[in-house]
Amino acid sequence: MAVLTSLHWLFLVWVLIIITVMGFRKDPIIPCILGLFTVGWGFKGTLIGAVTVIFQALIVAGQEFWGIIVVISLIVALSRLLSDSGADYLVISPAARLMVNADVAYWVLGLAMLIASWFFWPSPATALIGAIMVPVAVRAGLPVMGAAMSMNLFGHGLALSTDYVIQGAPTITAKAAGLAAPGEVIAASIPLAISMGVFTTVAGYVIVKRDLRRNPPPAAEGDRLVPRSEKQKLNGVAYTLAVAAPLAFLLDVAAMLILKLRGGDATALLGGTAVAILAMGSFLQHGVAGLEKITDYLRDGFVFGIRIFAPVIIIGGFFFMGKGELAQGILGPQATGFLEDFGVAVSQSVPLNKIIVAIVTLATGILVGLDGSGFSPLPLVGSVAATFGQALPINKATLAALGQIGGVWTGGGTIIPWALIPVAAITGVNPLDLARRNLIPVIIGFTATTMVAVLLM
């Protein structure tokens, strides 16, 4: 029988407080810090010990996340260079030519957003796709709201929740769930992602078709959306980067598959490739001035990366006390994982089944995702999956992937207005209206995906 101490209950109280704060769309940073402080004081027994636990938690979390922070920052820095040179327009424009009508435009726009988000992250992809492809899609007959839905569901939903190339989301989830590598979460997420992607995008398409029948858009609606890169004079550098960058990343993906590179090795390959192209492109685009310009690109990229991950590090630092190995790095060698201990205790006293744990894990991801951050829920849903993995003989990688989908689809920017601002701004739609349009497809997707997860666990 697992022994639950007063510290276990104190930790649980802070978990509930943090979830409640997130449910009210407030940042949980202060509750996380107070949780680290009070639990640390109880474990160490001294005020000094409590203060050091706070810092140690940030160090442990930072070490776990640093590789992903760096590679995302480098990818964003590279996207700035591609935008300055006009190479981004050259990469995307062939897909734009395929959009001959509204039906084709919905799917081509979404798939382009999916691929761009996998390689360059949804925020840079939103600016790229929005500036270049949305005007073409609208001129092809797709309503602006339909374009916004397509970008949201494919980019901030499907791409960000799977994150198969950069592997930021599965890395965080796997760490919190106590899995050896993000590859386990990625493999487990494939059938869930297929289910979520098919049901949400098809439901979204049906809604767009209904809107088209009721209110055909005016032919000139897309004229107000002017691609920024079309006005830019393209030179040989743009064409060189437009070929080199996609080719290099495609070769990286091939190398990952052939050489079975996972986790840190895959991250290192992507990061090194981004740096090499960034250095080469900076010189080609700016000449000697590239020595200075590359610093600006890197600074912009790392500002973006730190801005995204700063709260995740603190949240992760708190929830890592729930996992044995990471808890020892924060509190000391005598520590046990608080959530793991709860999992054992629950399994010995409360009847659980796969349906209940799947619903609880998905609901946790959705609730925590209400703060509007796609990655904030990941440390918690990973810890919840680890907890239930101790309580039941289930596939915790599948459970963790389900929680990741719930958290990212909610917080990443598909169904809550305060997370929809980037796409709403680039397309000129009302974020409240966009959230309402996305809600039914996402609920359908959550329901179907949970059923699939229960069957696979």
Does residue 141 have a pLDDT over 50? yes
Asked if residue 79 lies in contact with residue 115, where contact means CB atoms within 8 angstroms, the answer is no
Q: Where are the alpha helices (DSSP H) in 320-430?
A: 324-331, 338-349, 354-368, 378-391, 396-409, 421-427
The predicted structure's pLDDT at residue 56:
94
Question: What's the pLDDT score for residue 222?
Answer: 47
Q: What is the mean pLDDT of the chain?
A: 85
Please name the residues in contact with 231: beta carbons below 8 A apart, sequence gap of 6 or more.
Answer: none
CA distance 411 to 369: 4
Of 105-114, 374-383, 385-394, highest mean pLDDT = 105-114
Lowest mean pLDDT among 52-56, 88-92, 343-347: 343-347
Name the pTM for this structure: 0.73
pLDDT digits (tens, 9 = 90+) for 253-263: 888 878 877 66
Residue 98: per-residue pLDDT: 85
**pLDDT the model gives residue 353:** 84
Q: Give pLDDT, residue 57.
A: 93
CA trace torsion 44, 49, 52, 53 (10° rounding):
20
Report the distance separating Cα 211 and Cα 206, nearest Å. 9
pLDDT band at 347 (very low <50, low <70, confident <90, very high): low
> What is the reported pLDDT for 220?
47
Q: What is the pLDDT of residue 121?
A: 77
Q: What angle do CA 97, 98, 102 make, to 5 degrees?
A: 110
For residue 357, which amino acid is it? V
Distance CA 360, CA 448 (A): 15
Residue 231 has pLDDT above 80, yes or no: no
- Structural contact between residues 377 and 406, judged by C-beta atoms closer than 8 angstroms: yes
Residue with tokens 């796409």: 423
> How confident is the model over 178-209, as pLDDT tens digits?
887 888 899 999 999 999 999 999 999 999 99
Six-digit token string for 190: 């494939």
Is 223's pLDDT higher than 50?
A: no
Contact between 379 and 316 under an 8 Å Cβ cutoff? The reply is yes
What pLDDT, on a 0 to 100 scale, did the predictor assign at position 55?
95
Q: Is 434 helix (H, G, I), strand (E, B) or coil?
A: helix
The predicted pLDDT at position 229 comes to: 47
Token pair of 49 as six digits: 């010990």
Q: What is the dihedral of CA 264, 266, 268, 271, to 10 degrees?
A: -130
Give the closest residue to 399 by CA, choosing from 390, 389, 410, 407.
389
pLDDT value of residue 344: 67
Q: Does residue 325 have a pLDDT over 60?
A: yes
Specify which of 26-40, 308-322, 345-359 reaches the highest per-range mean pLDDT: 26-40
Residue 96: which pLDDT band, with cuts at 50, 70 and 90?
confident
Report whether 239 contacts 281 (CB < 8 A): no
